[in-house]
Structure 1
Amino acid sequence: MVADASLLAKLSGQKRVKSFLTRAVEGGRAAHAYLFVGAPGSGKLEAAWALAQALLCEDGGCGACDNCMRAARRTHPDVHYYTPESATGYLISQTRELLEDVALAPIRAKHKVYIIDRAEQMRANTANALLKTIEEPPKTVTFILLGTSTDTILPTIVSRCQCVPFRTLPLDESAQTVARATGVDLARCRMAVAVTGGPNAAIGFLKSAERQEARRQMLRAIDMLKRSDEADILLSVRDLLGVIKAPLAELKDAQKAMLDRDSDYLSRGALKQLEDRNKRELTARERSGIMEALACVRSLLRDVLLLVQDDAASIVNEDARDIACRLAEHATCTGIVRAIEAVGDAEHRIARNITPQLTCEVMLFDIRKALLCP
């Protein structure tokens, strides 16, 4: 039975999904492949990790055993999380690695889970290579694919998965969920949801001093653009990236400790796979932190756009209203739209693995030009 301490029991905002997955786990009827579809921020990834935890736990998700704790920290070696490593989608080498890993036995648990994020970015050759494995995986393997819509994923993939739709959560509803879980005031919860895209991610954001400091650093950099020279902008980006990378040192130490502990009974090949996966995880975490900082800028600029049209407008970043008002004093709607486009350009550069330092520097220069020279 799924325990109250499990990730599955804590899923919020998607009651039908929670009920459906809980019944499947408790009844031993979990499918071999799922396709979670819904808008960004609807909680698909959180649900995927929750289901993975329940499948790896011998008690269906007790929330307290070693397997559950590792899954909750997203460090379990038998949960493999994939995201596109190319700007145009998944690489064939990623598919090859996945197929080779499927044939290996689990490392710590009796089950293995493969979470494939942004499944719509699987190219035809990549998806076709996975078809047979997804249709008939080993009994100890479960696939969870995440996408925005079944219309954007190959029909052959969709037909081989149990589709689970996620509804779009209104901002205020998500904020209320976060407020109940954290005790934080509603205004700050609205900001956290707007930045992170969903209630579970927002809860994590509000519990992280480092992530909130990264937001403060980014908003401060935007606020200072009017009086910043080139050296000031370069320094602010360096400080921002330092804050984003700080928590990764602890993760890196934890990864090394796990490798040292497991090295005695793992083959050289398995250790190499874990090392490669750890490197990808560090890169993905850094990229996620940068994307979150960019989301903070986008959210602030949208508030500025509202204030340009109505200086008494209700905004998401109420704690930064003074910054938004200062920016709105001299900005135009056209300039703000161009500034928001600069954020989008930065997101595309990060997705293409362009250096974060250079990407953020270019974005800040572009935003300054858009806001001050509309």
Structure 2
Amino acid sequence: MANEIIAERSLLARLETQPRVRDFLAQAVATGRVSHAYLFLGAPGSGKLDAAWALAQQLICEDGGCGSCDACVRVARQTHPDVHYFAPESAVGYLIDQVRALLAEVSLSPIRSRRKVYIIDRAEQLRANTANALLKTLEEPPANVVFILLGPSADMILPTIVSRCQCVPFRTVPQTRSAELVERATGVSPERARMAVAVAGSPARAAEFLKSAERQEVRRAMLRQVDYLARADEADILTSIKDLMAVIKAPLDEVKSTQQAVLDRDSEYLTRGALKQLEDRFKRELSHRERSGIMEALACARSLLRDALLRLQGVDEPIVNEDVSEMVDRLCATATVAGVTAALDVVAQTERRLARNVTPQLALEVMLLDIRKALTCP
């Protein structure tokens, strides 16, 4: 049985919301029938990225994903030098130079493992020119390389890419089910489990969020910002954004320290080219984590605004931010349904801007000023 070959401490074991995907990937690794390229398809929050890192751990670990060895720990922390994460670096999607750099790196030998894994997020943003550069390698990659592409649906991805990958569908997971899993895994209250899922998305990331004091401080800081908007002027908002960015970047300090330790340790036996590749990868990782932190902060703002909208509309549904219900009450006392709806649209627009690589601090400044306008306009 597939369940019998999944180590309890592995990332794959945590994919409880996608049991079919979990068992399918475990069986593929255990039987040596791993595809050279996978395409994970599903809606946001369905756990595609969690599954990508879980499969990478299974492939990198000498014991097929034990969850406790040095390799497994490094993959779980997203610091293993042979697991590479890529996301679009321009407003129009993947850059051709970005894909060329990826392909140049593919031809190099692994640094610490027998395999290399490439996670390519938002594969729907691979357009014709960038896809063409990748197609041949996707079809016939080196024997030690596995690609994992992520996208919302096959219809949104170039058919030439879809045809070269093994498609793995992910089902949509209700937030109530995700919250139940977080509650069971962490022992927190139902209210905190709902909050963590609303902020982090998937159950696995929600559980990690609850373990991180720094990420929870980001939530508190963002909620305070939204709560303060009605009483703040533009100068106050622009000043406070700097403090908010500092809080968002705080969790990166540990990542930077881990990266530097890896560079210090490996610099003696890596070639100059390999060391440069590793440094570039670490820079991309930091950029990705910073943007992930900002997106999580936006999810916090969205959850507070959504709670206010539920209250204003008299919807009989528990709010997410029970622990700061007084903030929800203050928003409801001064805002209208139209104003809160407009503010939610601002958050969604900011997410799209960040996906197009708008400067994070600028995006947050514009967002908070626009939310303030939406909430205070009669």
Common fold: TM-score over 0.5: yes
SS at match of 2:119: strand
Query: Quick one: distance in 2 between partners of 1:356 and 1:22?
Result: 38
* Deviation of the 1:214 alpha carbon: 0.7
Alignment-derived partner of residue 139 in structure 1: 143
Alignment-derived partner of residue 290 in structure 2: 286
Q: Is the 8 A contact 2:93 2:356 kept in 1?
A: no
SS at match of 2:198: helix
RMSD: 1.4
Alignment-derived partner of residue 70 in structure 1: 74
Which moved further from structure 2: 317-326 or 79-88? 317-326
* Deviation of the 1:54 alpha carbon: 0.7
Q: Deviations over 1:192-220 (max 9, x none)?
A: 11122211111111111111111111111
* Deviation of the 1:5 alpha carbon: 1.9
Query: Quick one: distance in 2 between partners of 1:258 and 1:122?
Result: 31
Alignment-derived partner of residue 314 in structure 1: 318
Q: Is the 8 A contact 1:37 1:150 kept in 2?
A: yes
SS at match of 2:309: helix
Q: Deviations over 1:264-308 (max 9, x none)?
A: 111111111111111111111111111110111111111111111
Query: Quick one: distance in 1 between partners of 2:202 and 2:14?
Result: 14
What is the aligned counterpart of 1:163 among 149, 167, 170? 167
Distance verdict in 2 for CA 1:311–1:235, change over 3 Å: farther
What is the aligned counterpart of 1:295 among 292, 299, 302? 299
SS at match of 1:216: helix
Which moved further from structure 2: 338-347 or 88-97? 338-347
Alignment-derived partner of residue 240 in structure 1: 244
Q: Deviations over 1:86-134 (max 9, x none)?
A: 1211111111011111111000000000111111110111112111111
Alignment-derived partner of residue 364 in structure 2: 360
Are residue 266 (structure 1) and residue 276 (structure 2) matched? no
What is the aligned counterpart of 1:57 among 46, 54, 61? 61
Which moved further from structure 2: 353-362 or 315-324? 353-362
Query: Quick one: distance in 2 between partners of 1:301 and 1:214?
Result: 16
Q: Deviations over 1:59-101 (max 9, x none)?
A: 1111222211111111011001111111211111111011111
Alignment-derived partner of residue 104 in structure 1: 108
Are residue 339 (structure 1) and residue 343 (structure 2) matched? yes
Q: Is the 8 A contact 2:182 2:203 kept in 1?
A: yes
* Deviation of the 1:230 alpha carbon: 2.8
The amino acid that maps onto 1:134 is L
Q: Is the 8 A contact 2:38 2:166 kept in 1?
A: yes
**TM-score, normalization by structure 1:** 0.97
SS at match of 2:251: helix
* Deviation of the 1:355 alpha carbon: 2.9
Which moved further from structure 2: 309-318 or 10-19? 309-318
What is the aligned counterpart of 2:260 among 256, 265, 271? 256
Are residue 327 (structure 1) and residue 331 (structure 2) matched? yes
Alignment-derived partner of residue 180 in structure 2: 176
Query: Quick one: distance in 2 between partners of 1:312 and 1:326?
Result: 19
* Deviation of the 1:137 alpha carbon: 0.8
* Deviation of the 1:313 alpha carbon: 4.6
SS at match of 1:115: strand
Q: Is the 8 A contact 1:192 1:205 kept in 2?
A: yes
Alignment-derived partner of residue 217 in structure 1: 221
Distance verdict in 2 for CA 1:325–1:311, change over 3 Å: farther
Query: Quick one: distance in 2 between partners of 1:201 and 1:255?
Result: 21
The amino acid that maps onto 1:365 is L
Alignment-derived partner of residue 206 in structure 2: 202
Alignment-derived partner of residue 16 in structure 1: 20
Alignment-derived partner of residue 355 in structure 2: 351
Identity of aligned residues (%): 67
Q: Deviations over 1:176-203 (max 9, x none)?
A: 0000110011111111111222111111
* Deviation of the 1:231 alpha carbon: 3.3
* Deviation of the 1:311 alpha carbon: 7.3
Alignment-derived partner of residue 48 in structure 1: 52
Q: Deviations over 1:17-42 (max 9, x none)?
A: 11111111111111111111011011
Distance verdict in 2 for CA 1:304–1:314, change over 3 Å: same
The amino acid that maps onto 2:354 is I
Give structure 1 stretches of 5+ with no counterpart.
none
Query: Quick one: distance in 2 between partners of 1:257 and 1:42?
Result: 33
Which moved further from structure 2: 98-107 or 220-229? 220-229
* Deviation of the 1:337 alpha carbon: 1.7
The amino acid that maps onto 1:60 is G
Q: Is the 8 A contact 2:118 2:147 kept in 1?
A: yes
Give structure 2 stretches of 5+ with no counterpart.
none
Q: Deviations over 1:213-259 (max 9, x none)?
A: 11111111111112212332123222211111112122112111111
* Deviation of the 1:312 alpha carbon: 6.0
Q: Is the 8 A contact 1:89 1:123 kept in 2?
A: yes
